[in-house]
Amino acid sequence: LTAAAIGILIYFQFELRYLYDHFMQFAVSAAAFSMGLSIYLYIRSLRAPEEELAPGGNSGYFIYDFFTGHELNPRIGSFDLKYFCELRPGLIGWVVINLAMLLAEMKIHNQSMPSLSMILVNSFQLLYVVDALWNEEAILTTMDITHDGFGFMLAFGDLVWVPFVYSLQAYYLVGHPNAISWPVAAAITILNCIGYYIFRSANSQKNNFRRNPSDPRLAYLKFIPTATGKGLLVTGWWGFVRHPNYLGDIIMALAWSLPCGFNNILPYFYVIYFICLLVHREARDEHHCKQKYGLAWERYCQRVPYRIFPYIY
Ligand code: NDP
């Protein structure tokens, strides 16, 4: 539907560059909307039954619960608000903004083709978004869905942070063109492919195992049983290092920044922020898994002692 809407807009000669010229206005509007949505989510969560509250957003402190999300999976009928916001408006909006930046670059610099750097940034991030939508059921085993409530943190993250901050590389390239050679472009593309391969295979391995541990195609994987009935993988990607998926994601984040050159820190904001986010996320998940799996988690940590961020905490 979004593609059709964009096609119609372009057919009627609407300049998508409008998004570039009014970037801040759109971002502020999205922020206001996410605040309104968070207030709605908090108010409705007050009537939610105890078993539908998020374990982490049920402290009794208004500000904390409002921020982290009081209700786990708020729904209107069968429409799951968190699942929708996690996957659709922000991710698709990010791709649309990137496309607008590509068109703005061509228009402003009078180019008949987008620059190689812009093509790389757009293609890498499009791959990431298409992958998320193509494998959308994989999100069901992520922390955002299974553990975190739907409050300001995720509403703002999904609707403002993802589309307007993750598109900063493309935004930057419009005002600061960076010519790169074909060999450099090839090296960056290889880096992105390596990151993507690690990210996708690690996430799919865990997701397929969680969905059906007795799937004969996963018979080669070994796991430690736990008291909850779920197993912890000790071979494959999850036996190589804890949170292998984060490693792939960080490699890709670097590949998205490199086409912008080294003249400014802005295009590297994402990779720096993302490492901070994942360090904190890994700490949260380790703590959470330790509580959930107890001794089995300790055995897992002995079997797989390597971590992505070994010396941080
Ligand atoms: P994960 O997908 O890494 O899920 C963590 C969970 O996996 C644990 O809580 C545990 O849950 C399960 N698990 C851990 N170890 C094992 C094991 N050995 N065997 C089987 N299951 C195990 O968490 P995230 O939600 O943090 O990340 C999902 C993806 O999303 C990652 O690739 C991440 O990089 C990406 N991401 C991207 C963001 C972005 O802004 N671009 C933001 C956040 C995440 P359980 O046992 O209950 O199943």
Q: What is the pLDDT of residues 131-169, one digit of tens each?
A: 999 999 888 888 899 889 999 999 999 999 999 999 999
Looking at the CA of residue 145, tell me the nearest atom of ligand 1: 25
Q: How close is the Cα of 243 to the center of ligand 1, in Å?
A: 7
- Predicted local confidence at residue 213, as pLDDT: 92
Residues 163 and 40 in one domain: yes
Question: Mean pLDDT, to the nearest integer, of 258-264?
Answer: 97
Q: Whose CA is nearest to atom 13 of ligand 1?
A: 232
Give the pLDDT band of residue 190 (cuts 50, 70, 90).
very high
Q: Which residues line ligand 1 (CB under 6 A)?
A: 141-144, 199, 203, 206, 210, 230, 232-233, 238, 243, 245-246, 249, 281, 285, 288-289, 300
The residue to mutate among 158, 246, 254, 282, having the most atoms of ligand 1 within 8 angstroms of its beta carbon, is 246
Residues 169 and 200 in one domain: no
Residues 6 or more apart from 67 whose CB is under 8 A from it?
A: 151, 152, 153
Question: Mean pLDDT, to the nearest integer, of 34-54?
Answer: 95
Cα–Cα distance for residue pair 84/93, rounded to 1 Å: 13
CB 259 within 8 A of CB 180: yes
Give the count of domains, the chain.
Answer: 2
Residues 239 and 123 in one domain: no
Question: Mean pLDDT, to the nearest integer, of 63-83?
Answer: 95
Query: Which residue has better confidence, 40 or 59?
Result: 40
Looking at the CA of residue 128, tell me the nearest atom of ligand 1: 41
Q: How close is the Cα of 182 to the center of ligand 1, in Å?
A: 35
Burial of 261 (0-12, 13-18, 19+ CB in 10 A): middle
Residues 168 and 243 in one domain: no
- Predicted local confidence at residue 138, as pLDDT: 83
- Predicted local confidence at residue 311, as pLDDT: 60
Residues 146 and 197 in one domain: no
Residues 159 and 214 in one domain: no
Among 134, 164, 179, residue at a domain's last position: 179
Residues 163 and 207 in one domain: no
Looking at the CA of residue 239, tell me the nearest atom of ligand 1: 18
Q: Whose CA is nearest to atom 9 of ligand 1?
A: 285
Residues 41 and 170 in one domain: yes
- Predicted local confidence at residue 57, as pLDDT: 83
Residues 204 and 162 in one domain: no
Looking at the CA of residue 144, tell me the nearest atom of ligand 1: 25
Residues 149 and 209 in one domain: no
Q: Above 60 in pLDDT, residue 313?
A: no
Among 140, 160, 179, residue at a domain's last position: 179
Residue-range definition of the domain harbouring residue 210:
182-313
Residues 143 and 205 in one domain: no
Q: How close is the Cα of 143 to the center of ligand 1, in Å?
A: 6
Q: Whose CA is nearest to atom 28 of ligand 1?
A: 142
Residues 138 and 200 in one domain: no
pTM of the model: 0.92
Looking at the CA of residue 281, tell me the nearest atom of ligand 1: 26
Among 158, 179, 200, residue at a domain's last position: 179
Structure-block tokens of residue 275:
């490492």
Q: Is 229 left (phi over 0), alpha (psi -120 to 50) or beta?
A: left
Please count the other Cβ atoms lying within 10 Å of the Cβ belonging to residue 287.
10
Question: Mean pLDDT, to the nearest integer, of 255-280?
Answer: 96
Q: How close is the Cα of 138 to the center of ligand 1, in Å?
A: 10
